Amino acid sequence: MTDASVETPGELPARRGPVLVIAVTLFLNVAGFTLILPVLPFLVGRYVRPDLVGLYVGLIVSVYALCAFVAAPVLGTLSDRFGRRPILLLSLIGSAIGYITFGIGGALWVLFLGRIVDGLTAGNISTIFAYIADTQPPTERGRIFGLLGAVVGFGFMLGPVAGGFLGAYSPTMPLFAAAAITVVCTVWVYAAVPESVAHDRPKEAWQWRQMNPLRQLASALSYERLRVPFFAAFCFFFAGAMLQSNLSVYLKDILQFEPTGIGWTLFGVGVMDIISQGLLTRLLLPRYGARLLTRFGLGINAIGFGMIAALVFVPKIEFLIASIFVFSLGDGLFQPAMSETIANATPPDAHGRVQGANQAQQSLARMLGPLMAATLSPVSISAPYWAGGAVAILGMVALGVRLVGDDGLEPPTSSV
C-alpha cells in the first residue's frame, strides 16, 4: 500500500490529468522565463557602458547557469528520495523570488542576485522530465517528450512576444509578469499534481557525495550507454547557450531591433519548435528512430548557426527569418530524440538522479557557452555563431561514430 497522496507509476498513465497539469505548468514556466529575454540587454544597459552590455549579459546568463549546475543534481537526488512534487514547488517559488528581485533592480549586483536565486532553485525542468519518466512506460516516453517539446515551443513563442510588448512600456514589466505567472503555476501544481514516487519504493542510502554535481555527473556517465548521448547533448546546449545569451545583443546591433523586434524573432523560434517537435518529430521518431534524428537535428542546427553568422554580410529581415527557420528545425528534431535516448538508457530507480545529472551538464554548457560568446564577440560580432556551428558539428560527428543506447532499448535495472 502506498500513501493516498502518492500514486504508483502504474496508476498514473491511466490518468492524464497530472500530465496535462505538468504540460501547462511547463508552458507557463517557459513563457515566464522567455518574457525577460527581449529586455535583458536594455536592463543591463542601465548600469554599464554600451560596449560592455554583451559581456555583462553573458556573465548574468553564466552566473544563473553556474548556480543551476551546482543545484540541479542536489534537487534531482532530493526528488528521488523525497518526491518530485515538493522539489517542483520549491523550484517554482525560487523562480518567482528571482524574477521579483531582478525586476526591482537598482544596481547591477541586484540583477546578479536575482539570477543567483533563480539558478539555485532551477530544478523544475529536470523534475518534470523525471516525473514523466516515472509515470510513462518506455514506449510512450518519446511521444510525451515530443509533446512537451512542443509545449516548450509554445512558451518560447508567446513569451518573448509578450515580453517585447510589455517591455515597450517598461523594461521591468516583463519581470513582474513572469513572477505572477510562476505564482499561478505554483498554486496549480500544489492543488493538482500528485506525487509520482511511492514511499515504499526502495531507496539508496543517503550519501552526501551525491550532492556534488561533478560526482553525480560522473556517476551517470558510469553507464556506458549514456556517455555519447551526454556528450552530444553538451555540444548542443553549449552552442545554443552562445546564441541564447548573445542573440538579443546581436539583433540590437546588426538590425537595430528594439524589444518588440527581438520578441517577434524569438516568436519565430517558438513556431518552428512547435512544428518540428510537436508534428515532425512525432511522425519521424517512430519511423526513423532517435539515432538518425539526433544526428540529423544537429546537422541542420549547425547550418542554422552558419546562416545566423552570415547576417553580418546580409543584414536583411528575410534572411534572418530563413536562418531562424533552419536553426529551429534542427533544434526541434534533436531534443525529443535525445530525451528518449537518455530516458530509455536509465535504470528505473535513477531517473531523478540521471535527469539531475543531465540538467547539470546542460547547466555547465549554459555556463560556459555564454562565457565563450562574451569572449568571442569582441573579436567579431558573428564569431559566437560560427563557433556554435562548429560545436554542433562536433556533436554530430560523435553521434555518427557511435551512439550508445539503441532505439527502443529497455532501460537497465541495475543502480549506480
Is 56 within the bounds of a domain?
Answer: yes
In angstroms, the Cα distances linking 340 to 119, 213, 221, 336, 405 are: 25, 22, 17, 6, 10
Contacts of 51 (CB under 8 A, 6+ apart): none
Is 123 within the bounds of a domain?
Answer: yes
**CATH number of the domain encompassing residue 166:** 1.20.1250.20
Cα dihedral sign, 247-252-254-260: positive
Is 202 within the bounds of a domain?
Answer: no
Q: Which amino acid is at 25?
A: T
Is 2 within the bounds of a domain?
Answer: no
Range of the domain at 336: 12-197+208-401
Instruction: Please give the tally of structural domains in the chain.
Output: 1
Is 409 within the bounds of a domain?
Answer: no
Is 313 within the bounds of a domain?
Answer: yes
Query: CA–CA separation, 212 vs 222, rounded Å?
Result: 15
Which cell goes with 374?
A: 562574451
Query: CA–CA separation, 139 vs 153, rounded Å?
Result: 23
Is 275 within the bounds of a domain?
Answer: yes
pLDDT score at 265: 87
Is 326 within the bounds of a domain?
Answer: yes
Give me the tens of pLDDT residue by residue for the chain, a chain 416 residues long: 344 344 444 444 444 557 777 887 788 777 777 788 788 888 998 999 887 888 888 888 888 878 877 777 778 778 877 788 888 898 889 989 999 999 998 899 999 999 899 888 876 777 787 788 777 777 777 778 778 877 877 777 788 888 888 888 888 998 998 899 889 888 988 888 777 666 555 555 556 666 666 776 777 777 777 888 889 999 999 999 899 888 888 998 899 888 888 888 878 877 887 788 777 877 888 888 887 888 889 999 999 999 999 999 999 999 999 999 999 889 888 988 888 878 777 777 677 677 777 877 877 888 899 889 988 888 888 999 999 999 999 999 988 765 444 444 444 444 44
What residues form DSSP beta bridges with 195?
A: 6
Query: CA–CA separation, 75 vs 354, rounded Å?
Result: 11
Q: Are 157 and 267 in contact (CB under 8 A)?
A: yes
Q: Are 308 and 327 in contact (CB under 8 A)?
A: yes
- Angle of helix 224-254 relative to helix 259-273, nearest 10 degrees, comes to 150
